[in-house]
Amino acid sequence: MSNRRRGFAQERDLAKKLWDKGFAVMRAPASGSKAKRLLYPDLVAIKNGVVFVFEVKTTRSRKRDIYIPRHQVDKLIEFSRRSGGMPFIAVKIVGEGDWFFIPLRDLQETGSGGYKLPLSRLETHSFLKMDNLLTLALGVRPLRDYLEK
């Protein structure tokens, strides 16, 4: 399976898990389509009027940083600004199974203008899990609670 096909399979996996938790979920059209100009994120999940906007990344190791091109972060921010949503990098460590969600403030700029997610140096408590998103959507706790730990 090519990287790209594997990427789509992982996106579908995340979409299905969010759907099973009761979110309305929308995946972007295949990249390369003309609509790409409209700055689609990989995935959007909505519940109760609360919008989550995701760029999806998979990695084989928790020990490596994840590099993210600047334009991917820019479109995440722009879509979130327009929708009033919350942007996250959705990460799956292949083999470990669970998805987690990392807020953009944990990204670091690289010298070349892009970003990296310093996975190896992040404290595990800054990883939001699926159930934390549900809690946010239901308004039980604000995002700030998670960010300020």
CA distances from 19 to 1, 28, 43 (A): 25, 15, 12
How far apart are CB 45 and a second copy at their closest, in Å?
9
Contact indicator for 120, 63 with CB cutoff of 8 Å: yes
Rg of the chain over Cα atoms, rounded to whole angstroms, equals 15
Nearer to a second copy, 37 or 121 (CB): 37
Catalytic residue among 31, 33, 61, 120: 31
Nearer to a second copy, 62 or 81 (CB): 81
The site for a second copy (CB under 8 A) is made up of 12, 15-16, 19, 22-30, 33-35, 38, 40-41, 44, 46-51, 79-80, 82-85
How far apart are CB 40 and a second copy at their closest, in Å?
6
Rounded Cα distance, 92 and 41, in Å: 17
How far apart are CB 47 and a second copy at their closest, in Å?
6
Is 112 among the catalytic positions? no
Strand stretches in the chain, DSSP E: 24-27, 43-47, 50-59, 66-68, 86-93, 99-103, 108-109, 115-117
Residues forming beta bridges with residue 109, ordered by sequence position: 115
Nearer to a second copy, 28 or 89 (CB): 28
- Active-site annotation, residues: 31
